[in-house]
């Protein structure tokens, strides 16, 4: 799909935890219909960046603008309504709700809220598409790990977000599940969704991302297509650990 104008603009974003600078003067844009990868060694600030965008954390400095709307100081529920949806690095589903209720949770409070019969139809259709259709009335404790991941994704999609943040959504899957997972995200990509993908799985980065940002110790050290950044000597050094 053709990529459009930048819809998310991140400029000079920083986050300090006491003395630690987890995100350091980070600037990048995400275009409409683009899959943007964020990669980097452990502790390089990838999750913190997503937390800043989704409002889970408040930025120390810099700006986050989505389609002209300044998100920097908004609380998470307003950011969600502005069109940002996310999954969490450690999967978070709502344990006491049924599968379909988990999805309705994503739809009921979105910018275009759905409720009642409409929400049920919408959630059912979404679950069908994620191959969870036959489990919709079950409790979530009966789900396998990959199904929990799918459900969390369904909840995020249920809000029909402008931009979707996936924090290591593929982590923890076994090799065959990984193929299914990559397949699923590539379908989202083909639907034209705008996605920020934080990932350690290089195969996924190569096959899914249009561009990526490489972080190390909170700083952006490279930006470009996966092929470009993965051959960048500085990136190689960072990954080998002597950067």
Which residues are at the interface with Mg ion (CB under 5 A)? 47, 89
- Please tell me the distance from the alpha carbon of residue 187 to that of residue 209, in angstroms, as a whole number: 13
Phi, psi of 59 (to 5 degrees): -65, 145
- Please tell me the distance from the alpha carbon of residue 173 to that of residue 155, in angstroms, as a whole number: 19
Q: Which is nearer to ligand ATP, 26 or 132 (CB)?
A: 26
Q: At its nearest, how many Å lie between ligand ATP and the CB of residue 205?
A: 13
CB 28 within 8 A of CB 50: no
- Selection from Mg ion, other proteins, ligand ATP, none that 54 binds (CB < 5 to 8 A by kind) is other proteins
Q: In the complex, which residues of this chain contact other proteins (CB under 8 A)? A: 54-56, 75-77, 80-81, 85-86, 92, 94-97, 101, 104-106, 108-111, 113, 115, 155, 159
Is residue 243 exposed (0-12), middle (13-18) or buried (19+ Cβ within 10 Å)?
Answer: middle
CB 70 within 8 A of CB 62: no
The H or E element that residue 126 is part of is helix 116-129
Q: At its nearest, how many Å lie between other proteins and the CB of residue 33?
A: 23
Q: Identify the residue among 33, 46, 150, 220 touching ligand ATP (CB under 6 A).
A: 46
Q: At its nearest, how many Å lie between other proteins and the CB of residue 148?
A: 13
- Selection from other proteins, Mg ion, ligand ATP, none that 180 binds (CB < 5 to 8 A by kind) is none
């Amino acid at each position: 799909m053709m990529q459009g104008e930048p819809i998310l603009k991140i400029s000079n974003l920083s986050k300090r935890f006491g003395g630690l600078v987890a995100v350091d003067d980070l600037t990048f844009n995400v275009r409409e219909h683009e899959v943007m990868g964020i990669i980097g060694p452990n502790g390089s600030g990838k999750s913190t960046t997503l937390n800043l965008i989704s409002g889970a954390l408040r930025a120390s400095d810099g700006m986050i603008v989505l389609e002209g709307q300044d998100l920097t100081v908004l609380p998470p529920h307003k950011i969600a309504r502005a069109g940002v949806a996310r999954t969490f690095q450690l999967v978070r589903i709502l344990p006491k709700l049924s599968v379909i209720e988990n999805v309705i949770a994503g739809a009921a409070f979105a910018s275009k809220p759905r409720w009642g019969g409409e929400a049920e139809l919408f959630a059912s259709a979404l679950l069908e598409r994620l191959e969870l259709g036959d489990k919709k009335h079950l409790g979530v404790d009966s789900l396998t790990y990959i199904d929990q991941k799918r459900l969390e994704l369904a909840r995020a999609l249920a809000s029909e977000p402008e931009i979707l943040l996936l924090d290591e959504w593929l982590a923890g899957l076994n090799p065959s599940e990984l193929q299914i997972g990559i397949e699923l995200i590539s379908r989202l990509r083909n639907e034209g969704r705008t996605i920020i993908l934080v990932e350690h799985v290089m195969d996924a980065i190569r096959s899914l991302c249009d561009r990526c940002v490489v972080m190390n110790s909170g700083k952006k050290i490279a930006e470009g297509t996966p092929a470009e950044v993965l051959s960048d000597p500085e990136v190689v050094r960072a990954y080998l650990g002597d950067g």
